[in-house]
Structure 1
Amino acid sequence: MTTLILFLIALAGLLIVLRREAGASSAIAVMVIVGALSLIFGAGGLALLLFAGAALTAAAGLPGFRRSWLTPRIFATFKKVAPRVSDTEKVALEAGTVGWDGELFSGRPDWHNLLINRNTGLTEEEQAFVDNQCTQAISMCNAWDLAVERADLPGELWDFLKKERFFGMIIPKEYGGLEFSAKAQTAVLQKLAANEMLMVSVGVPNSLGPGELLLKYGTDEQKQHYLPRLADGREIPCFGLTGPRAGSDATSLPDTGIVCKGEFEGKEVLGIRLNFEKRWITLAPIATVVGLAFRMFDPDGLLGDTKDYGITCALIPRNTDGMEIGRRHCPIGSPFLNGPIRGKDVFIPLDYIIGGQEMAGQGWRMLVECLSVGRCITLPSGAAGASAYSVATAGGFTRIRRQFNTPVADMEGVQEPLARIAAKTYIAQAAVNHTANMIDGGQKPAVPSAILKYHLTEFQRGVLADAMDVHGGKAVTLGPRNYLGISYSGTPVSITVEGANIMTRSLMIFGQGAIRCHPYVLEELGAKDNDDINAFDKAFFNHAGLIFGNAARAFTQALGLGRADVPFDSASRRYAQAVARFSAAFGLCSDAAMTTLGSELKMRELVSARLGDMLSNLYLASMVLKNWHESQPVDGERDVMEYSLELLLHRTETAMAEFLQNLPSRPVAFALKTITMPLGRCWHAPGDELARKLARAISTDTPVRSKLTSSVWSTEGDEGVVNPVARYNSLLKDYDKAEQLYRKVTKAYAKGELPMTALHPEERFDAALEAGVFSKEEAGFMKEYEAVVLEMLTVDDFPFDEFARSKETVIDHNPV
C-alpha cells in the first residue's frame, strides 16, 4: 500500500511538471525526492526505478550531457527521415502569418491572444453602404432572370456597380476606391450572396486579381494608371491562372513567356513572347485587362545569367494582338461570366510585368501571399450569406407549409435539418467575421484561409441540400418563383475553385499547418538545412518537452482533472475547456504522426486530412466562442451557441477517433488512445431537444431568426420584384394570430359545424364566417393571409415548347 501511495505521488508530481513544461531539472527533483522517500519507507524497487528515471532524464534533458553524445545521433537520423521542403512549398510556408492556428497547434492555447483583438464592427460609412447600395444591388436581381433569361447581370445593374465602386472595395481612396476593411468586404458579399452571380461578379475583382497584386507589388506608374480605372469600373479585370493542365496544382502551369525583342508601338523593344491557354477565368468574357501567370524563360540571356525565372505575373490589355478572349464557359447552376483565354505569340513589353522587371519570377510568392487573404473572404463570405438566406427561406417556408393540419416545422423529421441549417449558419458567420477582423488587425491567416474555404463551402453545400429537402417540390421546380434551386445546383463551383476541396482538406490544412504553425518543426527543418546542431538541439528538446506536456495535459484533462483556466462565462466555459483539451490531444497526435510516418506523411493524405479536420473544428469552435464572448446575445441564442459547439466538438472527437483507427503504427495508436480518450468518447451529436429549439427559433419571428438573417435583404422589392424573405417575415409576424384561427376552423370542421365539401382553406374561411365561427375581421384576415401563403407555395409552369432552343425540333404530341 505504501509503494502504491508513493507511486501515485510520483506520478502526480511528474504530471504537474510535464503539464507546465517546467523542464528536466524539475522532473529530476520529483523523482529524486520521491525516490529518497521510497528508501525511507522500504519501497526499494520503486526507489530504484525512480533513480534510474532521474539518471535517464539527466542524460537526455540536461544540455551539458546530451549535446556530447545524444544530440549528434538524433540529428543524423533526423536529416535522413525529415521531409524535403520544395522551393514552392517554402514560398507557401513563408506567405501569411501565424496566429490562433499556432496557439491550437501548441496544445496550450492562450485565449488572451484570441480575445485581445476585439471585433468593433463596421464604420458608419461601411454600414451605410451595406444597408443602402448593397440592398439596391440585390433588389435588382432575380435568379431565374439572371441565370436563364439573360445569363448575365442586367445592364443597369452593371452600371450601378461601377458607379458605386463595388469593384474598388480594396482600392485606397487616393486612387478612387472605397478602401473598405476586410470586415466590410465580408459584409458586402454576405449581403449579395442571395444571388451567386452577383456575389461572384463583385467578389472576384476584390479578391485574388490585378487590383490586389497591383496594390502590393505594382510600380507607381502601374498603380496611377490602373487603380483609378479599376475602382470606377472603366477597367474590368480578370486573372488567368488555371488551365487545362493546371487547376488546383497551379505551380504546374505550362504557359510560357520567352524573353526576346519585338515590335511595340512602332519600336523594337525588349519584351516577352507569350503562349498560353487558360480556362475557368471569371469575368474573362468582358474583361478589359487580363492578369496573367506564366513561366518566364530567358534562353538567350538578354536580361542576365538567369535562364528560368519561374512563375511571373503580367497585366495585359484586352486588345493586345494575338490574345483570344470573349468566349464563355457555362458554370453549373449560375452561368456567371467565366471563360477561356488563349494566346499565340503574344508580344508584350517588360514593363507589363506587375511590379516591373525586378518582379520577374516572383509570381508564385505574389499569388500565395494574396491568396492567404482573399481565400478568407470571398467564398467563405458567400457561403455564410447563402446559409443565412437559407435560414430565412427554409424557416419561413416550413412554418407556413402545413401537412396533416400541422406546420411542417413542428415535425421532428424537418426540425433536424432546420437545426443543422441554423447552426452551420451561426458557425459560418462567426468564422468569416472574426477571421476578417484578424486581417484588419494586420494578420494574413494562411492556414485559416484554407480552413474557411474548405469547411464553409462544405457547410454551404449541406445547408442548401437541407433547405432543398425541407422545401420539397417547391424548390425542385425551376422558374422565377424558385429562390433556391439555382444556388443549390451551383454549389459545386464553390467546392471546386480557389483550390479543390478534396485537395485543400487532404493536403493543405494540416500539410501546411504542421510545418508552419507548429512551435518547433520549422526551426528543426531550418537547423537541418543549415546543418546547425546547436539550433537543432534547442528546438528538438523543446519539442520533446512539448510532446510530454501535451500528453500530460491531454490525459489529465480527459479525466476532468486540471481543466484549463479560460476567460469565458458559465454558459460557454466547458466548451472552451474542451477546445483546450482537444488542442493538447491534437498536438500530441500531430507529433505522433510526424514521428512515425516522417516524409511518408505527405502521401498519407487521409491521415493528414483527419488531423486537419481536428484543427479546423477547433478553429471554428474558437470563432464561435469569441463571437459569443464579444457580442450581446439575444433571447434564444444560447441554444444556437450550444448546438454549434456540441456539433463541432463531436466532429473533432470523431476525426480524432478515425485518425487513431487508421494510424499505421498500431502500438502508437493504442498508446495515444489511452492518453487522449481514457474514458472513451465524451462528445455526442447535439440532442433532439436542442434541435427542436433551433427549428422553432428560425421558423418563427424570434430574435435568433432576426440575428441570423441580419445580413439578408429583407425589404420589399421594386415593382415586379418579389423578395421571398420579406414575404416570409411578414407572414411570420402574423403567424400566432393565424395559427389560432387555423386551429379554430379545423376544430369546427372536425365537429361538423362546417360543410363536408369545404376542403380548401378559403372555402372553410367563408363557411366559418357564415356559421359564426369567424368574425368578419377574422375571415378577412385569414383570406388575405392564405392568399400570400398560396403565392409562396406556388411553382412556375411554362408553355410546352418554352425550353426548346430550336422550335423546329419540337414534336407535335397531339396531331390533329
Structure 2
Amino acid sequence: MSLDIESFELLLAAVQRFVKERLVPAENILEETDDVPADIVEDMKAMGLFGLSIPEEYGGIGLSMSQECQVAFELGRTSLAFRSVFGTNVGIGSQGILMDGTPEQKQGILPRVASGELIMSFALTEPDAGSDAAALKMRAELHGDVYVLNGTKRFITNAPRAGAFTLMARTGGPGAGGISSFIVPSNLPGITLGKTDRKMGQRGTKTCDVILENVRVPAANIIGGVPGQGFKTAMKVLERGRLHISAVACGMAQRILEESVAYAKERRQFGKAIGEFQLIQAMLADCQAELYAGWSMVQDCALRYDAKPAGASDPDVIMRASCAKMFCTEMVGRVADRGVQIHGGAGYINEYKVERFYRDVRLLRLYEGTTQIQQIIIGRELMRRD
C-alpha cells in the first residue's frame, strides 16, 4: 500500500503549505482557546488528512509507512494538537480494524473514518493498567449475542470528540490471552465521559476518562470476530504508532532548531549576535546531529516496516520501532531544553514558542509506550537472539 511518487510529492507539498500558511499562524489561537478552530478541522477533512493511512478502497489516501512518516514529520513542525485531531483516525483508532477486522467491519467503519465523519479513539489505558496493558480490568460478559461492558478507561485521546472507540476489555481469564478488542459506538447507553483533563502541555488536545456501566455491545463488534485476540491487535497497532510518533518528534525538533537558530542570529549580547559564540553553536550542533540521527532511524525502520508482509509480525522491526521511539522522543526533549537555554530568559516566557514546545514534547516520552517500556522491548528482543 503506497501512493505513487508524483501524487505523494503533490500531497507532501500541500501539507507543507498547510502547516506554514494555516497551522503556524493559528498556534497562538490554539494556545489561548485550548481548542483547534473548527474551520481548520474542516480543511483537514477536505485535504484527506483523516484517511492518510487508510487504503483507497475504503476512501483513504493509502500511504505506506515511509510516506506516512514523511507527512508526520511535516505535521510535527507545528503545535502538536493540530495533528492530534486526526491522529487517532490515522493510527491507533483505525489500524486495529484495518489489520484484523472482518470485511464487514472494514466496509462499515473505515470509509467514515477516512472522511473524518467518524472520529475514532483507542481505549486501552485504565486507572490500574497503563504500561502493564495485559492487566486491564474492564470486563466484557457475554449474554446471548451481546457483551455487557463495565469499567473505566483513562487518558483517552480524542474521547470528547469520538464517535466510536477501539476498546480493549477482558472477555476471558487473566493475562493477555483474555483480552478482546471491540468497536464501541460512543452513543451507547451507559457510556459517560469524565471531565476533560488539564495537562502540562499540548493545549487543544482532548483527553478524558471513559466510564462504561452495563454497556451492551453486540458480539459482532469484536474486531475480527474472534475473542481473545485483542492484546495482539493492540500491540500491532502500537508498533505502527511508535514510528508515527517518532516522525512527529523529529518534525518538532526541526521546528525548535529553526526557532533557536533564528533567535541566535537576532539576539545580540557583548556587541554581537549570540549565534557567533561557540557555546551557542555547540548546542545548535548537538541538536542538528541528534535530529539527523533520529530521522535516519525513522526512515530506515519505516522502509523495513513496508518491506515485511502486510499484517505480519517481525520481531526485528518491532525492536527497531522501539529504538526509534525511544531515541526520537528523548532526543526532542533534549532539543527543546537546549532551545529554551539558547533563548535564555526569553525561553521561559510564553511569548516565545519554545516555551510551549518544551511542555508539549514531554508527553511524547509517555504515550504509545514509555521510554522504559521501549527499553524492555529492545532488551528482551536482544536476549532472545542466538
- Paired residue for 2:125, among 222, 234, 242? 242
Q: Distance in 1 between matches of 2:30 and 2:382?
A: 40
Q: Distance in 2 between matches of 1:491 and 1:172?
A: 30
Q: How many residues align?
A: 373
Q: Distance in 2 between matches of 1:172 and 1:239?
A: 20
* Structure 1 residue aligned with 2:285: 419
* Structure 1 residue aligned with 2:361: 491
Q: Distance in 2 between matches of 1:272 and 1:363?
A: 15
Structure 1 position 138, deviation (Å): 5.0
Measured at CA, do residues 508 and 446 of structure 1 come closer, stay the same or move farther in structure 2, by a change above 3 Å? same
State the secondary structure of the residue aligned to 2:118. coil
Structure 1 position 423, deviation (Å): 0.5
Q: Bigger shift: 379-388 or 467-476?
A: 467-476
Structure 1 position 513, deviation (Å): 3.0
Q: Say whether the 8 Å CA contact 1:168–1:232 is kept in structure 2.
A: yes
* Structure 2 residue aligned with 1:140: 22
State whether structure 2 residue 307 is matched by structure 1 residue 441.
yes
In the TM superposition, 1:175-190 aligns within 5 A as 175-190=58-73
* Structure 2 residue aligned with 1:196: 80
Measured at CA, do residues 184 and 309 of structure 1 come closer, stay the same or move farther in structure 2, by a change above 3 Å? closer
The percentage of aligned residue pairs carrying the same residue is: 26
Residue type matched to 1:339 in 2?
Answer: C
State the secondary structure of the residue aligned to 1:293. strand
Residue type matched to 2:230 in 1?
Answer: G
Structure 1 position 427, deviation (Å): 0.9
Structure 1 position 137, deviation (Å): 4.5
Larger strand proportion of the pair: 2
Residue type matched to 1:360 in 2?
Answer: P
State the secondary structure of the residue aligned to 2:332. helix
Q: Say whether the 8 Å CA contact 2:188–2:215 is kept in structure 1.
A: yes
* Structure 2 residue aligned with 1:80: none
Which structure has the bigger radius of gyration? 1
- Paired residue for 1:276, among 140, 151, 160? 151
State whether structure 2 residue 98 is matched by structure 1 residue 215.
yes
Q: Say whether the 8 Å CA contact 2:19–2:74 is kept in structure 1.
A: no
* Structure 2 residue aligned with 1:382: 248
Structure 1 position 390, deviation (Å): 1.9
Q: Distance in 2 between matches of 1:477 and 1:462?
A: 18
Q: Distance in 1 between matches of 2:4 and 2:38?
A: 30
Cα deviation code 1:186-233 (max 9, x no counterpart): 111111112111133333322222x21111111111111111100001
Q: Distance in 2 between matches of 1:134 and 1:278?
A: 35
* Structure 2 residue aligned with 1:322: 190
* Structure 2 residue aligned with 1:342: 211
Give TM-score scaled by structure 2 length. 0.92
Structure 1 position 491, deviation (Å): 2.2
Cα deviation code 1:708-763 (max 9, x no counterpart): xxxxxxxxxxxxxxxxxxxxxxxxxxxxxxxxxxxxxxxxxxxxxxxxxxxxxxxx
Structure 1 position 309, deviation (Å): 6.2
Cα deviation code 1:448-507 (max 9, x no counterpart): 11111111100000001001100113321113xx222111012221111111213322x2
Q: Distance in 2 between matches of 1:172 and 1:383?
A: 25
Residue type matched to 1:179 in 2?
Answer: G
Structure 1 position 185, deviation (Å): 0.9
Unaligned runs of 5+ in 2: none
Q: Distance in 2 between matches of 1:199 and 1:290?
A: 18
- Paired residue for 2:35, among 149, 152, 177? 152
Q: Distance in 2 between matches of 1:375 and 1:453?
A: 6
Q: Distance in 1 between matches of 2:172 and 2:372?
A: 33
Structure 1 position 241, deviation (Å): 0.2
Unaligned runs of 5+ in 1: 1-119, 262-269, 299-307, 521-816
- Paired residue for 2:115, among 232, 237, 249? 232
* Structure 2 residue aligned with 1:467: 339
- Paired residue for 2:89, among 183, 194, 205? 205
Q: Say whether the 8 Å CA contact 1:296–1:309 is kept in structure 2.
A: no
Cα deviation code 1:757-798 (max 9, x no counterpart): xxxxxxxxxxxxxxxxxxxxxxxxxxxxxxxxxxxxxxxxxx
Q: Say whether the 8 Å CA contact 2:120–2:162 is kept in structure 1.
A: yes
Q: Distance in 1 between matches of 2:147 and 2:73?
A: 41
State whether structure 2 residue 266 is matched by structure 1 residue 403.
no
Q: Say whether the 8 Å CA contact 2:15–2:74 is kept in structure 1.
A: no
Q: Distance in 1 between matches of 2:181 and 2:132?
A: 17
Q: Say whether the 8 Å CA contact 1:402–1:408 is kept in structure 2.
A: yes
* Structure 2 residue aligned with 1:127: 9
Q: Distance in 1 between matches of 2:223 and 2:280?
A: 53
Residue type matched to 2:180 in 1?
Answer: T
State whether structure 2 residue 373 is matched by structure 1 residue 503.
yes
Measured at CA, do residues 297 and 508 of structure 1 come closer, stay the same or move farther in structure 2, by a change above 3 Å? closer
Structure 1 position 156, deviation (Å): 0.5
